[in-house]
Amino acid sequence: MSSLTPASTPLIDTPKDGGTKPGGQPEQAREKFNWLAEIRGLATMLLAVLAFHSFVAKPFYIPSGSMLPGLWVGDHLVVNKFAYGWNWSSPSFHVLPRGDWRILGRTPEYGDVVIVVPRGRSEDYIKRVVALPGDRIAIVNGQIVLNGKPVPQAVQPPVELPIDAMRSAEDPFPCDGWGLVRKPSGQQVCEIPALRETMPNGASYTVLDYTDKATDHVAEIKVPAGHVFLMGDNRDNSADSRVPLEENGLGGPVPLSDVGGRAEFITHSFDGTGSWNPLSWIRGLRKGRAWRSLRPPLDQTAVNKVAAR
């Protein structure tokens, strides 16, 4: 960027004897502001940011509770754009026409949390990979049956979630029907039964499945080549591969060309109390949420069982 000489500091030609020329007038004109150079610099910076967002990593915001308890409403996270290669959905704002092409395409792993753009829509969804190309998957009484074998689900203690972590525009009363508990600190939390689900590769994570819905019963299908089956961790409140497109779901297995990247970690999280006042952002910043990895831990026992087969 071109340098500016402040208007209050005139350029003076000072002779060797320390005096000034008669009248003290500057001998050279002040440097002119180069608008073209400034605009070119800003455009270059903007293109660099867009390129980084499109091909390397991009921040995302969680507006709903479909991935509870792992992801809260108000979480901000980073998505790795090159984890599975690049496709039409990689560039920011989805400026490219939808297509089935991929560059350096790779297949996700069981348990990966991914960003996907549903057919006929432009917004990004965030879900978990529960079946890979060629798998047979069914849902029986809420439990995944993968290639004829139930995916283990172990009962664990109920999770305690703050009300603000669950509340969204679609669900203003998220704890309705469940145990509302007031902690000694005065904070109100919702206690929800939880399960620990472990995939064949050992990826293990917590899911919520506390009521019986139609999405708990899905007949077996085979995932086509180049597709994955996705589900939200909040199994009773997720528009995912179990839900038809006309009901805002994913309409079955989704093409890998519609998967825009892998969620890596949470950068920060707001509890929804902030306003336009920047000072309120500090008060609304949740403690303990930053830098949480979104890669599921591996249950080594399950890994060893798979390796022994």
Report the C-alpha gap between 152 and 175 in whole angstroms: 27
Give the Cβ contact number of residue 201 at 10 Å: 16
Cis status of the peptide bond prior to 253, with omega within 30 of 0: no
- Is 280 in the active site? no
* Sign of the dihedral defined by the CA atoms of residues 143, 144, 149, 152, in that order: negative
Which alpha helices (DSSP H) does the chain contain, by range? Answer: 35-55, 163-166, 278-283, 300-308
* Sign of the dihedral defined by the CA atoms of residues 296, 111, 289, 165, in that order: negative
Catalytic residue among 54, 66, 204, 257: 66
Dihedral class, residue 134 (left if φ above 0, else alpha if ψ from -120 to 50, else beta): left
Whether residue 201 contacts residue 100, with contact meaning beta carbons closer than 8 Å, is answered with: no
Catalytic residue among 58, 90, 127, 257: 127
- Is 127 in the active site? yes
User: Where in the sequence numbering do the catalytic residues fall?
Assistant: 66, 127
